[in-house]
Structure formats: structure tokens, C-alpha cells
Amino acid sequence: MKIFKPVRSDKLVKEGLGKIKAKFKDVNSIGPAWITTFQDTVDVEEKELIKRDAYERINTFIDKLGIEEYK
């Protein structure tokens, strides 16, 4: 987290993180789905757990930085 604080006001960093935030709007958005695809998970229950975990981690991180969704 500390590594991003000095650059969080950088326009390109904010835009990039804002675009990531947009892909993780909710647990069923494309961002969490990409994570399960990347991990090549077959088990449905495991996919749901991975999606939820990815959603929560990304949103916690980006929210702590105070980044808004890119529009």
C-alpha cells in the first residue's frame, strides 16, 4: 500500500486504477471472472470463492487509496 501513496495523485495511475475499479464493480463483474479464468479453475464452488476474494481484495486496496471509478 505504501508504495502507491506517492503516485496515487498521478493522472495515469489514477486512471489505470480507476479502470481496474470499474472492472470490479461487483463480485460478478468481468474483473473477478478474469481472475478465475486466469487461474483455470473448474470447480464451481472454488470459482465463486476466488471471485469473491478477488473482488474484496481489489476493492479494499483501491478504496484505501481513495480512487474513484474511471468513467
Q: What is the pLDDT along the chain (71 residues), one digit of tens a residue?
A: 778 778 878 899 899 999 999 999 999 999 999 999 999 888 999 999 999 999 999 999 999 988 999 88
- What is the model's pLDDT at position 20? 97
Rounded to a whole number of angstroms, the distance between the first and last alpha carbons of the chain is 24
Residue 52 within a domain? yes
Q: Give the C-alpha separation, 22 to 44, whole Å.
A: 24
Domain count, the chain: 1
- What is the model's pLDDT at position 46? 95
The set of residues, in sequence order, having a beta carbon less than 8 Å from that of 65 and lying 6+ positions away, is 1, 4, 5, 8, 17
Domain of 42, in residue numbers: 5-65
Residue 48 within a domain? yes
What pTM was computed for the model?
A: 0.85
